[in-house]
Chain A
Amino acid sequence: MADETKDPIIQTVNLCKDYGEVHAVDHLNLQVHPGEVFGLLGPNGAGKTTTTLMLLGLTEPTSGHAFINGLNCTRHSLEVKNLVGYLPDNVGFYPAMTGRDNLIFSGMMNGLSEADAGKRAARELERVGMTYAADRNAGTYSRGMRQRLGIADVLMKDPKVIIMDEPTAGIDPEGVRAMTVLIRNLALEEHITLLISSHDLYQVQRISDRVGIFVHGKMIACGKVQDLGRQLQNEGLYMFDFTAEKNGEKEWSPEFQQKIREIPDVTIVGRKVDGSIHVEAKRDILLELQKLMVEQGIAVREMHQTGGDLDEIYRKYFEKAEEEEEGGKSNGRSGQNAGGEEADRPVGLKAKLAAVRSRRKK
């Protein structure tokens, strides 16, 4: 599917964008191969949208270059926009026109005749399952419908590359599922290269061939989801999530915490909002953990070892970048972060994750 032997279809070279003092995008080097589904992951304000805008030539980079299909996105923005479909975050349509007319208008902007645009609109509406509402005014559409119409709109120009900004934000689960299938099919059947920016981890995990994790304008990790997970484990990061019960109540006594900490190589012991316990260690401590709990008379429910999960990967990389940012000045802070846990954070994690990074650079 993804043809990595060919030249990358999307490429950025030291791409930078500054807003005053803020580096929205900081020396980004990104390569996406033809036919690939690439997920740009990152929290709000990480620079994902700015990157997509620079790829489309809608925003000028402060320095560096972006290329799509070998064309410079800033200089040849018209040619690039011929190839690239863009589905913006919260896409809008002219409310006084029907969905079909909106599509025909887009088609005509792309140089189709009115008749051709009409035929094409009918086909794309069918594909996204919007034919039933095609002749209603776009102002009456729900968000999910607008998003689906947005995909049809992007397809009107028969693009080689589609850039989507938060395609599933604000859509109900069933809509997300349908959208995911639709997006996946585009890559499989039409061989369209997709660049999807999102903060929705699971969705990205499901549809992307590769992901890039973005924090503060920097891409701190890039690769296949499994590879990223394995990488953390290779670096000696084992994570366990479990629920411990004693006499039918959730156990979280200081003595119990102390006991876990006494197991060698345990780095983090924390509790998540749902009451489950999260333990991180530098090696596989599963047996010791189980032994400890048997000795304490604690029942274990739902224990699982995490690591290959994008959620964890994302959080880890994100924490790393944050700590680098803050210079490690607040090591003991209680977490308001993605995992929602109140974990003690011993020194050393930062150094370890920095090691992850330096290895990645090689």
Chain B
Amino acid sequence: MHVLYRKELSDHINSTRCQILYFMLALVCFIALYGAEQTLAQSASQTSDGTTTVSKFMFLLLFTTSGSNIYSISTFLGFLGPVFGIMLGFDAINEEIAQGTLNRLAAQPIWRDTIIISKFLAGATFIFLTVFSIGGLVTGIGMIGTGLVPSGEEVARILFYLLMASIYICTWMALAELFSVTCRHAATSALSSIAIWLFLTMFMSLLASGIAGMVYPTGQSVQGQMNTLANYNLQVGLNRISPYYLFSEVTTILMNPNVRSTNLVSILQSSDSAIASYLTLGQSLLQIIPHIVVMFAEMIAFFAAAYISFMRKEIRA
């Protein structure tokens, strides 16, 4: 197993495709970091007159603040992460078939699941390496650039965030691997994965509000008023099927200790003038435990589907 794992990992690291992806992601993150620094510098100069309070978690803002004409790092990770995962996974199995190496590999004295498990683990390792190295670079450059020093809690939050980002990307890789088993051609599998990604990222919210509107119509009538809460809950629930939505909520909670809830309460709290204080890391994690579990479950489910369909697949020339 470790022989195959090593080979797969070195394939990833040496492939042009992965190097391009890596540098693209790194470049985008650095530009986003620059944008964030600009914005923060502006707001810092504004706050120095004492009208607004400076966040206690200034350093985290580097990840979530967007520049004047560029998205924030967390937005980029949420958006480009899936592309990264899909690129790593979409041709895992069907490429082997196209090369004619799969039946040779399957004829070696290894269990068949070794093949797909090694591929997944190698991909996951590469994702972890990428996310953590880029996260580390961004943190380091951010420290030099801004002169801010992250507190222990900030470091812990960043590490958790990067871990979540890795799992998020792994989820998409597992999905792409599922398609790489079921689709004969790499192009089909890539397009299918990208279609699902676009759907879950862009259109899931439209679909969710549509369905919620149909099931619990809201309006001026008494019943409509009564339905508001159910409508909202259903809409959010449907949205949370998408790993993209889950990940964005995880980002919000982890990187912004101000946010106390992902439920309806989060809307109410702003109007209800809650006490202005931060959640501790433990409390923030408590908020997103369900999200983490669901995201992990989705990853496992996608991988399990890929695993099962691979094990049942007929391997022939």
Interface centre among B15, B100, B105, B111 (most CB of A within 10 A): B100
Residues of A within 8 A of B107 (CB): 56, 58, 81, 84-86, 88
Answer yes or no: B45 CB below 8 A from chain A CBs: no
A88 to B11, CA, bound (A): 23
* Contacts A53-B315, A81-B108, A109-B108 given; does A93 touch B99 at CB 8 Å: yes
Residues of A within 8 A of B3 (CB): 105, 108-109
The main secondary structure of chain B at its interface with chain A is: loop
* Contacts A81-B109, A82-B109, A90-B100 given; does A59 touch B314 at CB 8 Å: yes
CB distance from A276 to the nearest CB of B (A): 37
Q: Please, how many residues of chain A have a CB less than 8 angstroms from a CB on the other chain?
A: 32
Q: Which residues of chain B in 209-260 are interfacial with respect to chain A, using CB atoms and an 8 Å cutoff?
A: none
A310 to B280, CA, bound (A): 84
CB distance from A76 to the nearest CB of B (A): 11
A109 touches B110 (CB 8 A): yes
A94 touches B316 (CB 8 A): no
Residues of A within 8 A of B109 (CB): 78-79, 81-82, 109-111, 157
B103 touches A86 (CB 8 A): yes
Q: Interface digits, B91-120 against A, CB 8 Å rule (1 contact, 0 not)?
A: 000000001110111111111000000000
A207 to B314, CA, bound (A): 30
Residues of B within 8 A of A50 (CB): 316
A90 to B98, CA, bound (A): 11
Q: Interface digits, A67-94 against B, CB 8 Å rule (1 contact, 0 not)?
A: 0000000000011011011101111111
Answer yes or no: A340 CB below 8 A from chain B CBs: no
Answer yes or no: A168 CB below 8 A from chain B CBs: no
* CB-contact partner of B104 in A59, A78, A82, A153, under 8 A: A153
A105 to B317, CA, bound (A): 21
A92 touches B101 (CB 8 A): yes
Residues of A within 8 A of B80 (CB): none
Answer yes or no: A223 CB below 8 A from chain B CBs: no
Residue ID in chain B nearest A49 by CB atoms = B316
Answer yes or no: B121 CB below 8 A from chain A CBs: no
Residues of A within 8 A of B4 (CB): 109
Q: Which residues of chain B in 99-145 are interfacial with respect to chain A, using CB atoms and an 8 Å cutoff?
A: 99-101, 103-111
A165 to B105, CA, bound (A): 15
A141 to B103, CA, bound (A): 19
CB distance from B54 to the nearest CB of A (A): 52
Residues of B within 8 A of A81 (CB): 107-110
A88 touches B100 (CB 8 A): yes
Residue ID in chain A nearest B98 by CB atoms = A92
Answer yes or no: A203 CB below 8 A from chain B CBs: no
Residues of A within 8 A of B315 (CB): 53, 58-59
Instruction: Give me 13 other A-B pairs in contact (C-beta within 8 A), A58-B103, A88-B107 excluded.
Output: A49-B316, A58-B314, A81-B108, A84-B107, A89-B317, A90-B317, A93-B99, A93-B104, A96-B11, A96-B15, A106-B108, A109-B105, A109-B110
The 9 residue pairs across chains A and B that have the minimum distance between CB atoms: A92-B100, A86-B107, A92-B99, A81-B109, A109-B108, A82-B109, A88-B103, A89-B317, A92-B101
12 A-B residue pairings within 8 Å (CB atoms): A49-B317, A56-B107, A81-B110, A86-B103, A88-B103, A88-B107, A90-B317, A94-B99, A95-B99, A96-B11, A109-B109, A165-B317
| Chain B residues near A (Cβ < 8 Å) | 3-4, 7, 11, 14-15, 99-101, 103-111, 314-317
